[in-house]
Chains A and B, each alone.
Chain A
Amino acid sequence: MKIRSSVFASFVLLLEVVGIVLFLRGFFPVPVKSSLASKSQLSEQPLEPLTGSPPNSSRLPPPLFKRVVIVLVDALREDFVFGANGRTHMPYTRHLVEKGSSHSFVAKARPPTVTMPRIKALTTGSIPGFIDVVMNLNSPALLEDNLIWQAKTAGKRIIFYGDDTWVRLFPKHFMEYDGTTSFFVSDYTEVDNNVTRHLDSTLKRDDWDILILHYLGLDHIGHISGPHSSLIQPKLLEMDDVLKKIHSALISKEAEGSLPYLLVLCGDHGMSETGSHGGSSEPEVNTPLVLISPAFRRKAGMEKPVVVEQVDLTPTLALGLGLPISQNSVGRVIAGLLEETSMRDQLRSLHLNGHQLSCLLKDSISNYEKGFEQFRVAEKAHGNWMKLYLEGNTSEVLTNMGKKVLKQYLEALAAMSSALSKQLGKYDMYSMIVGMVFLFQLLLVLLLAMPEALCGAAVVDLPVLSAMFSLPFYLLCLLLASVHVLVCTSAESSCYFCSLSWGLVFAAVAFCSAMFCILISMATRRLPLGIKSPLKSSGSGWQLSELDILLLVGTIGHTLSLGASSFVEEEHQTWYFLLNTLCLAVFQDVCRKYFREKSASIDEEELIFTSKDHPSPVHYKADAHTEKWLALATPPFSLLCCRLLRSLNHTGVQWAHLPDVGHWLNSSEHKTVLSFLSAFCLVLIYLLVQRRCSWVSKVALALGLIGVYSYRAAVGNVLFPWQHSSRTASKGTVEARFVYVFVLGILFSGTKDLLRSQVITADAKLKSRGLWEIYSGLVLLVSLLFRSHNLPVLCCSLLIQTLMAQFIWKKLHYDAAQTTIMHYWFGQAFFYYQGNSNNIATIDISVGFVGLESYVEAPAIFLTALSTYAGPLLWACHLICYLSSERDRSPVALGHGCYCLALLRSVPAAAYIVLVTVLRYHLFIWSVFSPKLLYESMHLLITAGVCLFFITMEQSPTSSKS
């Protein structure tokens, strides 16, 4: 079966996407779940252990607290309270920590340190999977067993004010609530005032048991200006005042005889040195946890806070309120809090916690002996202690024995908890391997087809039919099917691939064996050719230039570098480095062309002049002269651009905290500079893009770019020259929609031109204009979505594209493969220039709300993906425009380009999958490698889309010829 190489490449890419999705499904572990469908109930609590006599008591330890107030401050970092500045930033809290009756801890949050997974962790006590990040914004109701549900079922009345994620997670759980949205990150006063305004009236009342406050302002300040900004201190003082107000109200309400109150101050996650969060660096993970209650001993002075897990708060609160611990909780109760209660209650609480953990352990891990045995021993000792206790023994022996049992319990809890946490790193290997096999078969086919795909005809001959009707194919099908049955019947843990329907599995098996047969037959066809080829290559035909070597070494080297976590974190450095080297290599090529070959070419030129009798040779020569200097200036200019862009956004980990130009531009003092810069960039974008558009598109583009500026002005990023009054920042919805209209208009006119060129006239000029219009529509959309300080990135990319296309790629006769690799490298580098990194935290989610009143899933995801991958996309689109304009030089350029792009994308993706599988027990697997895996898969998907676009572009010559 003969297919064109572009169709072949896109087809392979699409199938690779399927493979990688299967891999991802196996890689991201399913969270630890108890097998019980229902939620824990008070009546099902285990009995108090007692050896010997039958009347086991089902007595539960009495609740410790009557009322609980939880003040959750988003992104409250540990050193904001316990650090050196804590005394000035939060004086009252610090006083309570040092002198008051309180317990303070450093609670370690698990990555991903994003708000919703953290809320889930705090309420269910389980550790939500990484994939929860992706679901961060649209949170359906939490169905798992959780603290809030337990409290509600027990008849506690709960009031909630703050982030409306809670309201969506726990619908109908709160007696009273007021949710605030966190979409408009630039607002950091209103969100908190909306919470605090309810406080006075609520604190006066007596009709509630649990009050939860979630303050977002601090997090927003962190996102805007980082943890060292001047805005932090006033915000922390405000939080301190809130705490003081609540504390004094609670003290005044306290009545003799009734149970005491509990005031909890905690953070959901910390804040990195740049102010973002999501990763696993120390400042992001460490949050303060301060528990204040008259039930605790008064502190004498500042002690170093003990480190606990964030999920430990859940069982502690549950026991403190006399509620059952939620089933999936992996936390262990904080023993320090129970100190003041009787030994019997302490042991009972630990027993309850241990029982819950052991049930979870039994359900989720097949070999659970270690911690479980410890727990059994402790339980037995507990029974013995109870016997002595009930006999009325009050001697020293009882106390000592009690202490020993307590210690045994704590050890058992620690062992079980860590075993459960480790369980979260368990992978569905079978699905992963199947995904990997898919990907590698496709990659091998892609590689084996290289000589055919890059030849003059750009047609790949796939022996599909012969493979389908061969005996090995059926044998392989049978073999794989039996392997599948064997694996699925013997697997202990759940496996995604086994749970698929039989039809799908059979399709996969057939596909796998067909690919295998195709591979074998292609390889045998290549083999004799492979022996012959060295003879050929030793001749003059096949010689690699320095540039080819660089492109090859760079691609392979980058793929290999992904194995080191530092190189993944700092991948932008690799790309900047390679891009610089590329520019220098191109510079050397240009120099060679214009200096070395001068003597030869001058002769030729003179020959032309004399033979053709050129009308004005002087003019021509002058043009050639300026062109030479422009060509010589292009690579250094690109280098300079790249250097400037590099200092615009510092990403990565090691050097991300250094001040960069982007922050400088975004600070409020430099608003004028930013306004001028963005206006200049928009004008430049217009000048660069409008050249090849029709006049309608030109007008639309100009209006659209004006709309972009007014949108930025409406949002409050830039200044309007004639509008001095500081109007309140609106959402700019009208302006953004205005721009969307023009984007759609330009895209429509481009598509119309393309269709006309394809169906009616087959006019190459019309077609290239249509392509360029689609490209300019994309540019306009991206300029709307980019933050204003990122507009220079767009501007520089357009500038470099224009110059390179005009003076380098055309003039130096680079072939389609070389051009494609260069475009790919530039695209990758620009992905990082715009401030992205391999960390989830750098995705700019606010883009999803440009021009929308509220969160709508589909457009939000589309816009976010588009703006995140704007760099690679723009360069790929430019590649299509460039290659199709070069069609007269080489008619199969588009096919070659598409094939190269597919190969360039699949090699790192396939290699990375293997690396991730090998490194699956690496320390940084969740913080560094998994986000990169998500980025890789997304990039694969987007490249598959671009390749489909390539096919539609390539379609026309055949249809017009036929």
Chain B
Amino acid sequence: MWDHEIRAMASTHAIIASSVFMATVLPAVFVPGFSVYGTHLVWLYSVSGAVTAVSVAVFWLLGITPPTKKHTLGYKLSRLFRSCLYFFLSCLFFHSVVVLYGAPLIESALETFSLAVLLTSLTTLRCLCVLGPSVQAWIRVFSRHGAMSVWDTCLQITVACTVVGAWLGAFPIPLDWDRPWQVWPVSCSLGAMIGFLTGLVGAPAWIHYHRKQLTYKSK
């Protein structure tokens, strides 16, 4: 059951994880003075860029995205435009949630927004790739018993892992250890990244071990 999908998923996730790895290592080789803590924002952008590009490419090649009804260029363009809009709105959403959690409103707004971009590229982008720009489908997937395919379950797991990782990443901030990774937003983005990688590894494994129990009702 689902063997084919699980294999595809595992290889996809391996590619994405290796892209994260490359995005961390390559700048360290080419950009002088690059470090994850020191030039944290650069790392953030490089990782989000890499994950965005690779996910879009891989999911487009795999063809998981729900088939569009129309094939006209205009429709495709509008889909693309809507996807970009959703991406930006999701950045704003994450930014406002982080501010509500207590991030300073004005100072270090750039750092906060960068974190929001990272979170978006780790979570919303996947939704866009797998489900397309339709809010109805998103709400369906993220409500209880809403998954309709293995890919939906995988999406649930990775998104939850990323968000929980970022959430847990905030805990070390009040500690008085004065470490470089306690600076805003390093711990949160690292937490999100670790959560995301855990999700990438965990999702195929979980689905593999629960493949007997998994049943999806079709529409």
Which residues of A are at the interface with B, using a C-beta cutoff of 8 A? 564-567, 569-570, 573-574, 576-577, 580-581, 584, 591-592, 595-596, 639-640, 642-643, 646, 652, 654
B174 partner residues in chain A, CB cutoff 8 A: 566-567, 569-570, 573-574, 652, 654
| Minimum Cβ distance to chain B for residue A21 (Å) | 31
* B176 and A592 form a contact (CB under 8 A): no
- Is B87 located at the chain interface by the 8 A CB criterion? no
- Cβ contact of B143, chosen from A565, A596, A642, cutoff 8 A: A596
Q: Known A577-B170, A584-B97; judge A592-B143 contact (CB<8 A).
A: yes
Residue pair A566, B97 in contact (C-beta under 8 Å): no
* Complex contact A577–B102 (CB within 8 A): yes
Per a CB cutoff under 8 Å, which of B146, B167, B175 touches A566?
B175
In the assembled complex, which residues on chain A have CB atoms less than 8 Å from the CB atom of B100? 580, 639-640, 642-643
Across chains A and B, which 7 residue pairs bring their CB atoms closest together, nearest first?
A570-B174, A596-B143, A566-B175, A566-B176, A639-B100, A573-B174, A643-B100
Chain B residues contacting A591 (CB-CB under 8 Å) are 139
Q: Distance in Å from the Cβ of B188 to the closest Cβ of chain A?
A: 12
Which residues in B have their C-beta under 8 angstroms from that of A564?
Answer: 175
User: What residues on B are CB-neighbors of A642 within 8 Å?
Assistant: 100
Residue contact A643 to B139, C-beta cutoff 8 Å: no
Secondary structure of the B side of the interface? loop
Residues on B with beta carbons closer than 8 Å to the beta carbon of A565: 176
Which listed residue (A592, A643, A652, A654) contacts B144, Cβ 8 A? A592
Residues of B within 8 A of A (CB): 97, 99-102, 139-140, 143-144, 146, 167, 170, 173-176
- The complex places the Cα of A607 from the Cα of B100 at a distance, in Å, of 41
Bound form: Cα–Cα A566–B99 in Å: 22
When distances are taken between beta carbons in the complex, the residues of chain B under 8 Å from A566 are 174-176
- Tell me whether B101 and A577 are in contact (CB under 8 A): yes
B175 and A567 form a contact (CB under 8 A): yes
Query: Are A581 and B139 touching (Cβ within 8 A)?
Result: no
21 contacts between A and B (CB under 8 A): A564-B175, A566-B174, A566-B175, A566-B176, A567-B175, A569-B176, A573-B102, A573-B174, A576-B101, A576-B102, A580-B100, A580-B101, A580-B102, A592-B143, A595-B139, A596-B139, A596-B140, A596-B146, A639-B100, A642-B100, A654-B176
A sample of 11 more A-B contacts (CB under 8 A), given A566-B175, A566-B176, A595-B139, is: A573-B173, A573-B174, A576-B102, A577-B102, A577-B170, A580-B101, A580-B102, A581-B167, A596-B143, A596-B146, A640-B100
Residues of A within 8 A of B167 (CB): 581
> How near does chain A come to B160, taking the closest CB pair, in angstroms?
10
Residue of A nearest to B160 (CB): A546
Residue numbers in A under 8 Å from B139 (CB-CB) = 591, 595-596
A643-B99 contact given A592-B144, A654-B174, CB 8 Å threshold: yes
For the complex formed, measure the closest distance between the CB of B48 and the CB atoms of chain A, giving whole angstroms: 23
Which chain A residues lie closer than 8 Å to B101 at the CB level?
Answer: 576-577, 580
User: A592's closest neighbor in chain B, by CB?
Assistant: B143
| Residues of chain B with a CB closer than 8 A to A577's CB | 101-102, 170
Q: Min CB distance, A869 to chain B, in Å? A: 23
Q: Is B143 in contact with A646, judged by CB distance below 8 angstroms?
A: no
State the CA gap A224–B99 with chains docked (Å): 30
- CB-CB under 8 A from B173, the residues of chain A are 573
Q: Which residues of A contact B146 (CB under 8 A)?
A: 596
Complex Cα spacing A642 to B170, Å: 18
CB-CB nearest in chain A for B172: A566
The interface residues of chain B lying within 8 Å CB-to-CB of A654 are 174, 176
A residues in contact with B176, CB < 8 Å: 565-566, 569, 654
Q: Bound state CA distance, A654 and B174, in angstroms?
A: 8
Closest chain A CB from B114 CB (angstroms): 20
Separation of A580 and B173 alpha carbons in the complex (Å)? 16
Which residues of the other chain, A, contact B140 by a CB distance below 8 angstroms? Answer: 596
Please give, as numbers and ranges, the residues of chain A lying within 8 Å of B102 by CB-CB distance: 573, 576-577, 580, 643, 646
Kindly report which residue of chain A lies nearest to residue B168, judged by CB atoms: A557
Chain A residues within 8 Å of B97, by CB: 584
Kindly provide the distance from the CB of A280 to the nearest chain B CB, expressed in whole angstroms: 14
Interface centre among B139, B146, B167, B175 (most CB of A within 10 A): B175
Nearest CB in chain B to that of A642: its residue: B100
Q: Which of B100, B139, B146 counts the most A-chain CB atoms under 10 A from its CB? A: B100
Separation of A596 and B137 alpha carbons in the complex (Å): 11
In the complex, A646 Cα to B103 Cα: how many Å? 11
Whole-angstrom distance between the Cβ of B131 and the nearest chain A Cβ: 16
Task: For A652, list chain B residues within 8 Å (CB).
Answer: 174
Closest A residue, CB atoms, query B173: A573
Max chain A C-beta neighbours (<10 A), residue from B99, B174, B176: B174
A584 to B146 CA separation, bound complex (whole angstroms): 20
Nearest residue in B to A640 (C-beta to C-beta)?
A: B100
Least Cβ distance of B30 to chain A in Å? 37
Write the chain A residue with the least CB distance to B146. Answer: A596
With both chains docked as a complex, state the minimum distance between the C-beta of A331 and any C-beta of chain B, in angstroms. 31
- In the complex, residue of chain A having the shortest beta-carbon distance to the beta carbon of B99: A643
Bound-state Cα–Cα, A642 to B101, Å? 9
How far apart sit A296 and B101, CA to CA, in the bound complex (Å)?
A: 59
Q: How far is the CB of B210 from chain A (nearest CB, A)?
A: 16
Instruction: Report the separation of the CA atoms of residues A581 and B139 in the bound assembly, to the nearest whole angstrom.
Output: 19
Q: Complex Cα distance A741/B175, Å?
A: 47
Chain A positions within 8 Å of B170 at CB level:
577
Return chain B residues, CB-CB under 8 Å to A646.
Answer: 102
What is the CB-to-nearest-CB distance from A800 to chain B, in angstroms, rounded to a whole number?
A: 14
Q: Which residues of B contact A639 (CB under 8 A)?
A: 100
Chain A: which residue is nearest B136 at the CB level? A595
Q: CA of A595 to CA of B143 in the docked complex: distance in angstroms?
A: 10
| Shortest Cβ distance from residue B90 to the other chain A in the assembled complex, whole angstroms | 15
Q: Shortest Cβ distance from A867 into chain B, in angstroms?
A: 25
- Chain B residues, CB < 8 A from A584: 97
Instruction: Tell me the smallest distance from the CB of B166 to a CB of chain A, in Å.
Output: 12
Q: Which B residue sits closest to A572, measured CB to CB?
A: B174
> Could you tell me the distance between the alpha carbons of A574 and B170 in the complex, rounded to whole angstroms?
10
Which residues from B are CB-within-8-Å of A576? Answer: 101-102
Task: Give the chain B neighbours of A580 by CB distance below 8 A.
Answer: 100-102
A635 to chain B, nearest CB (A): 11
CB closest residue in chain B, given A596? B143
Which chain B residue lies CB-closest to A545?
Answer: B144
**Residues of chain B lying within 8 A (CB to CB) of residue A567:** 174-175
A640 vs B105: C-alpha distance in the bound complex, in angstroms?
13
Shortest CB–CB separation between residue A925 and chain B, in angstroms?
A: 16
In this complex, what residue of A is CB-closest to B97? A584
CA gap between A577 and B101 in the complex, in Å: 6
Chain B proximity of A548: nearest CB distance (Å): 13
Contacts of A592 in B (CB 8 A): 143-144
CA distance A584 to B96 in the complex (A): 12
- Among A570, A596, A654, find the residue whose CB has the most chain B CB atoms closer than 10 A: A596
Q: Tell me the nearest residue of chain A to B103, going by C-beta.
A: A643
Q: How far is the CA of A569 from the CA of B140 in the complex (A)?
A: 42
How far apart are the CA atoms of A570 and B167 in the complex, in Å? Answer: 17
In Å, the complex CA distance between A591 and B100 comes to: 19
Separation of A569 and B173 alpha carbons in the complex (Å): 13
Considering the complex, give the chain A residue whose CB is closest to the CB of B176.
A566
Nearest B residue to A655 via CB reads B174
Give bound CA distance, A351 to B128, whole Å: 83
- CB neighbours (8 Å) of B144 from chain A are 592
A571 closest partner in B (C-beta): B174
| Docked CA distance A567–B99 (Å) | 21
A573–B172 Cα distance when bound, in Å, is 11
Chain B residue at smallest Cβ distance from A564: B175
How far does the alpha carbon of A569 sit from the alpha carbon of B144 in the complex, in Å? 38
Minimum CB distance partner of B142 in chain A: A588
- A554 CB, nearest partner CB in chain B, Å: 11
Chain B residues whose CB sits within 8 angstroms of the CB of A570 once the complex forms: 174
Complex Cα distance, B176 from A654, in Å, reads: 8
Give Cα A569–Cα B174 distance, bound, in whole angstroms: 9
Determine the distance from Cα of A570 to Cα of B177 in the docked complex, in whole angstroms: 14
- Residue on B nearest A576 in the bound complex, by CB: B102
A592 to B146, alpha carbons, bound, how many Å? 11
Distance A640 CA – B99 CA, assembled complex (angstroms) = 10
Closest CB-CB distance, A226 to chain B, in whole Å?
20
Min distance, Cβ B180 to any Cβ of chain A, angstroms: 16
